[in-house]
Amino acid sequence: MGEELKVIVFGLAHEEYGIEVDKVRTIERLSPITRVPKTPSFIKGVINLRGIVVPVIDLRGRFGLGETEPTENSRIIVVAAGELEVGFIVDAANDVIDIDTDTIDSPPEIVGGIKAKYLRGIARLGDSRLLIMLNLSEVLNKNEIIQLEQLEV
């Protein structure tokens, strides 16, 4: 048996994704987002989170899954990307689970329309449940991190 990995499970376009708990700072309800001009369309703007300006990215838009209107279940998952905190808009944040690292397979080329470079792997949970593990360093590539750092006002 491999190591246990604690992950937060969240929903996006009818799929379940996972992100390591130790990368997550907080999960918030959707709050008003201040638009920032001249940014890619998936960068929704910034929020003020307890006195810290946090850039917000719509993960549906980032992955080209087609953006939808937020619902009562929509959440912002704030993650640490180096020194920077970034919020991801997701359809729902479901729960926290432990997964065995031995159950994580390399990702196929495309999963649910998302390129493999954004994925760390696919975790098998039981017989029929799959959890798509995000590769945060690719979701936020270096150029985007630089762009997001410049958003801080």
The structure's pTM equals 0.86
Q: Is 127 helix (H, G, I), strand (E, B) or coil?
A: coil
**Is pLDDT at 92 greater than 90 in this prediction?**
yes
- For the segment 101-128, what is each residue's pLDDT rounded down to a tens digit? 999 988 776 665 566 677 888 899 888 8
CATH superfamily of 4-149: CheA-289, Domain 4 (2.40.50.180)
Partners of 5 in the β-ladder: 99
Helix, strand, coil % over all residues of the chain, rounded to 5: 15, 50, 35
Average per-residue pLDDT for the chain: 85
Digit-coded pLDDT (tens) for 10-55:
999 888 999 999 999 999 999 999 998 888 888 899 999 999 899 9
Residue type, 92: A
Phi, psi angle pair for 126, to nearest 5°: 70, -160
Beta strand 24-29 pairing with 129-134: unpaired
Pairing of the two strands 129-134 and 119-125:
antiparallel
User: Greater confidence, 118 or 1?
Assistant: 118
Sequence spans of domains, the chain: 4-149
